[in-house]
Amino acid sequence: MMKEYWQEELEVSSRSSLEKLQIERLNKTIEYAIQSPYYNKLFNKKGISPGSIKNIAQIQDLPFTTKQDLRNNFPYGFLTLPKKEIIRLHSSSGTTGNPTVIFHNRHDINSWANLMARSLFCAGVRDTDVFQNISGYGLFTGGLGFQYGIEALGCLSIPAGAGNSKRQIKLMQDYGTTVAHAIPSYLGRLYEVFEQENLDPKKNTQLHTLVIGAEPHTEEQRQRIEAMFGVKAYNSFGLSEMNGPGVAFECTYQSGLHIWEDAFYVEIIDPETLQPVPDGEYGELVMTTLDREAMPLIRYRTRDITRIIPGKCKCGRVHRRIDRITGRTDDMFIIKGCNVFPMQIEGVLLKIPEVGSDYLITLETVNDVDEMVVEVEVKPNWFSGDIRKLDQLTKQITTQIRDEVLAKPIVKLVEKGSIPRAEGKAVRVADKRNNGLK
Ligand code: ADP
Ligand code: ZN
């Protein structure tokens, strides 16, 4: 019979055997954690010892860990093992401040590679695929994290690295790439280069799947990517504190991301009260590593906002699904008294066919009043066209954004290519207000 799952015994087990494994692994995690200077001090103070977890709900008695705790104890305060045992470090891209660092021993690297292979298999990638990884190789986890998973799965891997779109296209054509991984904001630009070269990815490549992740994006953006490239695009979620990619992944039903609960214990909490929210409700994702030795993290507050999708997935996997990340708690900005997430604005923009793939939200103080300026790139044939039509489009976008976020924006249509392209993850908001949260 054809293999349907990467690890059948873990992916289609019962919830009760998954929970048994979680309790076992949580106790082992505490055993490791207590060897680090940070958790040693904390656990001794709170009387937490290995073996003390008898049922999984007791995890709520353990303290949270925050990004600030990681920064305060940089670089070695969370390390459980002598440096001799450690074989790699990765650090986050530092989108919101100083970087944080995560250390791995050989067990951790193998376990991560296996989770990545499982994730890709779950999205329909097979060892017969040619996999081009369009991702920075280095401290960013999207490079090596994918690389090890692609190899564990057995695809022919092309470690292409990021950028240089013409070369990416050439690699795709030379080797018959069937699957590629990239951040979603890059794919719009890659498509522009296909167009410049008079090529159509639907006809001139063998791509059937794109794996997109590492930055927030909307369902509208996914659909645009699928249409441009004539592929299925699967959402991949991870963060360097939880290894990197391979934390949660969509299966071929594309109805939420299976979060690998044998490796991570998942909670969704209200970020204000810190209490769990019921399944189906949005809150902050909190995760505990269950299979990491060198640097376990207990109840790590990711600041990512999502929810558990109630019910079972058609694919039969026991792992619950989280919904697309709507943003981070620290992405939200307040303008004219309204709470706004950039993804709400992206959702409005990308539904409009005349809008290109890039936009920038600038918050600025004009005559002592805070304004939200939304610059929107429009497709080339539109920009050179009729002024009245541009006016109409501006009005349409203004109204639709206002209806979505309740604050009225100042919309400026701009020519394709005029918004500066970020090197890595897309920058969607620039806060230039006098008293703005930077
Ligand atoms: P940094 O925090 O510096 O950006 P990471 O590279 O570890 O460093 O980024 C992880 C973060 O990227 C996640 O916490 C989340 O906010 C975002 N992210 C990753 N994958 C996705 C995804 N598929 N959808 C939305 N956001 C994502
Ligand atoms: Zn599924």
Q: What is the pLDDT of residues 65-106, one digit of tens each?
A: 999 999 999 999 999 999 999 999 998 756 666 779 999 999
CA distance 149 to 236: 13
The pLDDT assigned to 383 comes to 73
Query: Residue of the nearest CA to atom 9 in ligand 1?
Result: 239
Domain annotation for the chain: domains and CATH numbers: 1-330 (3.40.50.12780), 333-432 (3.30.300.30)
Asked if residue 185 has pLDDT above 90, the reply is yes
Contact 73, 38 (CB under 8 A): yes
The pLDDT assigned to 83 comes to 97
Q: Map residue 395 onto helix, strand or coil.
A: helix
Residue 158 main-chain phi, psi, to 5 deg: -115, 100
CA distance 285 to 332: 16
* Residue 421 pLDDT grade (very low, low, confident, very high; cuts 50, 70, 90): confident
Centre of ligand 1 to C-alpha 46, Å, is 31
Query: Which pTM value belongs to this model?
Result: 0.94
Counting from 1 in the atom list of ligand 1, the atom nearest the Cα of 94 is 3
Residue 35 main-chain phi, psi, to 5 deg: -85, -5
Q: Which residue has the tokens 């994290």?
A: 145
The pLDDT assigned to 346 comes to 96
Residues 6+ apart with CB under 8 A from 153: 6, 116, 117, 120, 121, 125, 126, 127
The pLDDT assigned to 102 comes to 98
Pocket probe for ligand 1: among 93, 112, 210, 215, the residue whose CB has the most ligand atoms within 8 Å is 215
Give me the sheet containing 244-250, strands edge to edge: 156-158, 130-133, 179-182, 209-213, 232-239, 244-250, 257-259, 321-322, 308-309
Per residue in 82-98, is it b (16+ CB within 10 Å) or e — as a string?
eeeebeeebbbbeeeee
Q: Which residue has the tokens 């949660």?
A: 248
The pLDDT assigned to 380 comes to 79
Q: What is the identity of the amino acid at 85?
A: E
Mean pLDDT throughout 394-419?
A: 95
Asked if residue 408 has pLDDT above 60, the reply is yes
Separation in Å, CA 427 to CA 145, 193, 216, 328, 423: 23, 21, 11, 14, 9
Centre of ligand 1 to C-alpha 218, Å, is 14
CA distance 61 to 267: 13
Centre of ligand 1 to C-alpha 316, Å, is 27
| Alpha helices per DSSP H over 3-66 | 8-11, 15-33, 37-46
